[in-house]
Structure 1
Amino acid sequence: MGNAERRPRVLVVGQGAREHAMVWKLAQSESRPTIYAAPGNPGMAEWAELVNISASDHAAMVRFCRERGVDLVAVGPEQPLAEGLADALAEAGIAVFGPSRLAAQLEASKAFSKQVMEEAGVPTARHRTFADLDEARAYVRAHGAPIVVKADGLAAGKGVVVAETVDEAERALEDMLVGGRFGASGHRVVIEEFMRGVEVSLMYFVDAHTAVPMLPARDFKRLLDGDRGPNTGGMGAFSPVPRVTQDVIDRVTREIVQPTLARLREMGAVYRGVLYAGLMLTDEGPKVVEFNCRFGDPETEVVLPLFAGDLFEVMWAVAHDSLQPAAVSWHRDAAVCVVMASAGYPASSETGVPIELPGQLPEGVTVFHAGTRAGEGGRLETAGGRVLTVSAVAHDIPAALDRAYTAVASIRFSGAQYRHDIAHNWQS
C-alpha cells in the first residue's frame, strides 16, 4: 500500500490521548497517509481532519469510508470493538486494524476471558464468576482478603476493586450487583485471588499468523501518590521496564499469547490488531491480570514514541495478514508520561475550564490531548476526566522523568491534578 500512486487514507477512530498518539505516529510514516480522526480532538487537528462521527455509529463510519475512499481504519477504544465495528467494516470490504466483536470479548467480558484462559491452559489468578450477591459474599468470606472484585463488562478502567478487607469487598459487590454502579457491565462479577508480584503491560501486534511483542511498560492506575486512592484509567506510565528481559517476553509469548490466540482461532475468532496482556510477574512466573483488545492507555503514549518502525505499514500488514517481525523495531531510549486530570476525577470531571499550554515544550516532550475541546473563540478547554498526557523521551528514565515534570509544571488549568511519583519504581 505504501507504494501506491496516491497517498493512502487512514481513519483513526477515537478521541483520547491514545488515539492522538496513533495519529501523531501515523503522520511520521514514509507513506505520508491522509489521516482522518472520528471524532478526534483539537490536538489531532495538526495532522488529521476531524470528522464528527460517533465511534458507535457503525453505518456512518462505513458510509464515510466509502465516500472518502478510506483504505484502512485503525480503531482505538474498546467499546466500538466490543460492539462489532471491525466486523461492520470488514463486511463492507474495508481493511481494519482491530479485532472482531467475538475476539474483543477478551476485554469486554472478564468471564469470557477467564474461560478462554482456562481452556488454553494460560496461567492466571484463581477465580469464580457470580451474578448473585449472597453467593458472591459467601465466596469472599470463605477466601478472605485481600481479594479482587471485577465488573464483568467494560468500565473504562474503573471496574476493578482490590479489596484490602472483606468489608471492602462486600461493599464493592453491593455497588456492582445491587447498586448498578457500572450498569449492565456490573450485573456479573469475577472474584479473583490477589496475586503478589510485579505488574507490567506487554502489548503485541497480532495478525492471523504472527504475534510480535512491543516494548514492556508499567502504568499507574491509582489516583494518588504512593499508589493510593481509587483506580483510574491510568495516571502515567514508563517504558521500557528493565526487569522484563527478553527471556520473560519469550515466555509470555510462548505460554500466554500464542495459546490464547490459538484457542480463539478454534472458536472461530481470528485476532487482528493489538493484544494487550496485563501481567503479574509472580514467583511462579508470569500470570495474566487482564487482556485488553487494543492499545493500552496511557501505555501507548510511552510505547509509540519509542517505536522506530513505520506504524502505517505495520497496521496495513496486520490488517492483511502479512506482519513481519522485522518491521517492528525500537529506539534505545526511555519514555515517561504523566496524566493531568480534571478536578473530581475519577468520580466526576470538571469541563469548560480554560487550558494554558506553553509556547515551547522541553526537548523530547509531546503533549497528547485526551479530554479537551475547542471552546468559545477557539480557546482550548477541558472536556473530560483525563485531560492531557505529557510524554517525554530521553536517554534514560530519570532524564525522561525530569523532562516530563518540567513540562507539566508549565501547563495550567484550574483544578488540575496529577501524580508526582510516576516511575518511582522503575528499577524494581
Structure 2
Amino acid sequence: MDTKKFLFASLDAALIGDIAWQVHREGHDVKYYVEAESDREIADGFVPKTDDWRAEVEWADVVVFDDIWVGTDVGTGELAQDLREEGHAVIGGTPDTDRLEDDRGYAMEVLDEHGVKTLPHREFTDFDAGIAHVQEHPAPYVVKPLGEVQNVKRLVYVGREDDGSDVVDVLRAYKKAWGHRMKGFQLQRRVEGVEVAVCGFFDGEGFVDPINFNFEHKKLFPGNIGPSTGEMGTAMFWAGRNRLFERTLGRLEGWLADQGYVGSIDLNCIVNARGVYPLEFTPRFGYPTITLQEESFESPTGEFLYRLAHGEETDLRVHGGYQVGVRVCLPPFPFSDPQTFDENSRNAAIVFEGDCEGVHIEDTKNVDGQWRVAGESGVALVVTGMGETMTAARERAYDRIEDVIVPNMYYRDDIGERWVEGEGDRLQAWGYLGP
C-alpha cells in the first residue's frame, strides 16, 4: 500500500499511542493528538504530535478515535458520525454504540431485542432502594457503577455471599464514599462459569474474519486477588464464526450495520453449560487488548486500519496459535496519587537487557533514545508472547519481561494460566469453540 495519512485522537486519556507508533514504523504519515494535559508527553519521541486535531482532519486519509470519552463526557461517537457524514473515513462509533458502554441498561435492552439472553439486572439511582432490593431478593449480585465513575474499575464488586449480605455492606459503604459522584449503579445477578470476551472488527457493513476471543485478568494480584484494575493482562486466540460468536456479536451484525459502526467491538460474557450470559460491551478498542491483537497481526496494521475505515475488502491475516500480553506497572497503579507517582515512577528509565521485541508502549516516552515512564497512571508497558500453545505463549511473554528493568515495576505472573488449568477444556466440552 502507498503511504497514507493517519490522524489518531485521544480526547480524554492517551491510549492509542502504541498503535500510532506501529503505523508510523510501517512508513505512513502519522499525527497524534492528546487532549489530557497530564498525558501530553505520552508517546513523545515515538510518533509526531499535533496540538489541534480538528485542523488536521482534511489532511488525514483516516481519523482514529481511541475511546468513547471526550473528557468526562461521552462523545466521540457523535464526532465520528458527523465526520463520516462529511465524507471522512473514520474509525469510531456512533451515539448509540457509545451508549452500549455508558448506559448498561440500554446495552441489555439492545441484546434482549436481538435474541441474546441476558442475566437478571436492574438499575438504581438510590442506594437505599438497591439495598432494599437485595434484602427482598437474597442472591449473589455484581455491583456495576453507572456514569463517570464506571471507569473507576475498582468500584465493580462481585458478590460472594449467596444471600447478598456482602453486597448490602458494599452499597452502604459506597453511599458514604461515592454517593456524591455515582449517578447510579446496576445490580446484575452473578453466575458461575468461564469469563470470555468475543471481539470483532466491524467495517460499517459486517464483521471482518477472523474473530478474536480473549480472556481479561482484571484484578491486581495473581490468583485474581485485590482491587480491580482496567486490566493487568490478556490471553487470546483467533477463530472463525463459531457458536460463541453466533450467539453473541453475530446477532448484532445487522444492528451495527444500520449504525454504520466502524472499529473494534467487544462483548464480555460468562459462559457455562447452560448458556452464554453477556456482561458488558467495549464498543471501541480495548486496552491492552488492541496492543496484543496488533502483535498477532500478520497483515500490516496501517493497511488494515485504512481498509477497515474505507469499508474495503480486508484480508486480515493473524497468528494461528495463542497470544499473551502482560501489563508492566508502577506505583500508584491502579490508584491515583500524584505524590507517590512523582516519588517512585515519574521519568523512570526503562532498560532492556536484550532487544525490545514484543514490547509495546503505554504511558511511555522516548527521550534521546532512552525510554522513560510518562503520564501519571503508572501503566508503562505491555509485554507480549505468542506460541502454538497457551503455555508456549506465556513462556515467551515472561521470558521477555525478564529482560525489562524498571525500578519498582510489578506485574501479574499468571496471565493465561486459567486457560491452561481448564477453562479451555470446559469451553471445548460445552461446544462453543467448534467451527
Relative to the length of structure 1, the TM-score reads 0.83
2:271 is aligned to: 281
Secondary structure of the equivalent of 2:106? helix
Equivalence map 1:377-416=2 (5 Å) = 380-382=372-374, 383-416=376-409
User: How far, CA to CA, are the matches of 1:177 and 1:263 in structure 2?
Assistant: 37
The amino acid that maps onto 1:356 is A
What is the aligned partner in structure 1 of residue 260 from structure 2?
270
CA contact (8 A) 1:73 1:96 kept: yes
1:296-324, Cα deviation, whole Å (9 max, x unpaired)? 11222222211122333333333333344
Residues in 2 aligned to 1:377 and 1:217: alpha-carbon distance in whole angstroms = 33
Which one-letter code corresponds to 1:191 in the other structure?
A: L
Q: Match of 1:56?
A: none
2:28 to 33, 43, 48: 33
The match for 2:142 is 148
SS at the partner of 1:425? Answer: helix
Q: Does 1:422 align with 2:415?
A: yes
**Amino acid paired to 2:171:** L
Report what 1:341 is aligned to: 329
Number of corresponding residues: 401
Q: 1:104: which partner in 2?
A: 98
RMSD across aligned positions (CA):
3.1
1:244-255 to 2 correspondences below 5 Å: 246=240, 249-255=241-247
Question: 155, 168, 171: which one pairs with 1:170?
Answer: 168
Q: Are the equivalent residues in 2 in contact too, given 1:175–1:181 (CA < 8 A)?
A: no
How far apart are the structure 2 equivalents of 1:274 and 1:422? 22
1:263 Cα shift? 4.1
Question: Against the structure 1 CA distance between its residues 310 and 381, is the aligned structure 2 distance closer, same or farther, given a 3 Å change threshold?
Answer: closer
Q: Write 1 or 2 for the structure with the bigger share of strand.
A: 2
Partner of 1:48: 47
Percent of residue pairs bearing the same amino acid type: 23
Which aligned pairs between 1:308-319 and structure 2 lie closer than 5 A?
308-319=298-309
C-alpha contact 1:223 1:229 (8 A) present in aligned 2: yes
Q: What is the DSSP-based 3-state SS (H/G/I as helix, E as strand, rest coil) of the residue aligned with 1:138?
A: helix
Q: Distance between the aligned counterparts of 2:213 and 2:180, measured in 1?
A: 30
Query: How far apart, in 1, do the equivalents of 2:147 and 2:255 lie?
Result: 21
Q: What is the Cα deviation at residue 92 of structure 1?
A: 4.7
Displacement after TM superposition at 1:10 (Å):
0.2
Q: Distance in 1 between matches of 2:404 and 2:55?
A: 39
Deviation for aligned residue 1:198 = 0.8
Distance 1:340 1:17, change over 3 A: farther
Equivalent residues of 1:37, 1:48 under 8 A apart = yes
Q: Distance in 2 between matches of 1:47 and 1:361?
A: 20
Matched residue type, 1:140: V
Conserved? CA contact 1:119–1:263, under 8 Å: no
- Farther-moved stretch of structure 1 (186-195 vs 156-165): 156-165
Contact 2:141 2:167 survives alignment (8 Å): yes
Q: In 2, distance between residues paired with 1:227 and 1:23? A: 31
CA distance in structure 1 between the aligned counterparts of 2:407 and 2:294, rounded to whole angstroms: 29
Structure 1 residues 351 and 372, CA, compared in 2 at 3 Å: closer, same or farther? farther
- SS of residue in 2 equivalent to 1:77: coil
Q: Which residue identity lines up with residue 203 of structure 2 in the other structure? A: D
Take 1:378 and 1:41, find their aligned partners in 2: how far apart are those partners? 18
Are residues 109 and 284 of structure 1, via their aligned partners in 2, closer, same or farther at CA, if it must alter by over 3 Å?
same
- For the 8 Å contact 1:41–1:373, the answer to whether it is kept is no
Q: Name stretches of at least 5 consecutive residues in structure 1 with no aligned partner.
A: 53-59
Question: Is the 1:108–1:153 contact (alpha carbons within 8 Å) kept by the matching residues of 2?
Answer: yes
Q: Cα distance 1:411–1:359, how it changes in 2: closer, same or farther (>3 A)?
A: closer
Do the aligned partners of residues 283 and 236 (structure 1) sit closer, same or farther apart at CA in structure 2, a change above 3 Å counting?
same
After the TM superposition, which residues 183-262 of structure 1 pair with which residues of structure 2 at under 5 Å, given as runs? 183=181, 186-212=182-208, 213-240=210-237, 246=240, 249-262=241-254
SS in 2 for 1:368: strand
Q: Shift in Å at residue 45 of structure 1?
A: 4.9
Deviation at 1:33, TM superposition (A): 1.8
Unaligned runs of 5+ in 2: 424-435
Q: Say which SS state the counterpart of residue 137 (structure 1) adopts.
A: helix
Equivalent residue of 1:402, what SS?
Answer: helix
User: Under a length normalisation based on structure 2, what TM-score does the superposition of the two structures give?
Assistant: 0.81
Q: 1:77 to 1:337 in 2, by over 3 A?
A: same
Provide the secondary structure at the position in 1 that maps to 2:377: coil
Is contact 1:348–1:385 with CA below 8 Å preserved after alignment? no
- Counterpart of 1:104 in 2: which secondary structure? helix
Q: Look up the SS of the partner of 1:295 in the other structure.
A: coil
Counterpart for residue 180 of structure 1: 178
